[in-house]
């Protein structure tokens, strides 16, 4: 985000992707997305320790259909087709993402892959689709840098 010299336009599907941001960026992103009339969903991952809890929280925050199967494939399908939340674009915000990353690295990596696939799908279909995962400032230190901070996966 701006703290790293990167300006992002949430209205441009070509910039769709998964981004790592600082904790203080989420509120600003939520305001910008709402201003642009994008659907905003926020998921708090504080204390989230595993796949089961992650899927439960996502089902609640994304208001997933009752038919949601609570597995990775079902999540991938739902994130590609958010038809129960009609909008011209989507912004998913994840608070405390580092807690899941620390507690369940494999589940965290699978989530990143599913989010990246959904963002690519959205961008390919001319729909803005963004996921922002808030990490503590220490995660952006050179020796602890997550995959790509503030640029698409």
Supply angle C-alpha 119, 96, 63, rounded to 5: 55
pLDDT in tens, 114-133: 999 999 999 999 999 999 99
**For residue range 75-127, what is the model confidence (pLDDT) as tens digits?**
999 999 988 899 999 999 999 999 999 999 999 999 999 999 999 999 999 99
Prediction pTM value? 0.87
pLDDT tens sequence across 45-83: 999 999 999 999 999 999 999 999 999 999 999 999 988
pLDDT for the residue numbered 98: 95
pLDDT at 141 (0 to 100): 67
* Cβ count near 146 (within 10 Å): 17
Sequence ranges of the domains in the chain: 19-144
Does the domain made of 19-144 have the CATH classification 2.60.40.10?
A: no
Q: 32-65: b or e for each residue (b if 16 or more CB lie within 10 Å)? A: bbeeeebbbbbbbbeebeebebbbebbbebbebe
Task: List the alpha helices (DSSP H) in 14-131.
Answer: 25-35, 51-61, 72-80, 97-103, 105-124
- The predicted structure's pLDDT at residue 83: 86
């Amino acid at each position: 985000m701006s703290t790293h010299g990167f300006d992002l336009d949430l209205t441009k599907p070509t910039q769709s992707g998964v981004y790592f941001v600082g904790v203080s960026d989420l509120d600003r992103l939520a305001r910008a997305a709402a201003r642009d009339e994008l659907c905003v969903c926020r998921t708090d991952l504080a204390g989230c320790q595993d796949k089961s809890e992650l899927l439960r929280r996502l089902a609640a925050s994304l208001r997933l259909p009752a038919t949601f199967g609570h597995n990775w494939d079902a999540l991938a399908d739902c994130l590609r087709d958010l038809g129960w939340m009609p909008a011209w674009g989507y912004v998913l915000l994840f608070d405390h993402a580092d807690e899941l990353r620390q507690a369940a690295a494999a589940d965290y990596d699978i989530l990143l892959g599913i989010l990246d696939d959904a963002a690519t799908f959205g961008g390919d279909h001319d729909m803005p689709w963004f996921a922002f995962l808030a990490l503590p400032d220490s995660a952006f230190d050179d020796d602890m840098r997550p995959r790509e901070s503030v640029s698409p996966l």
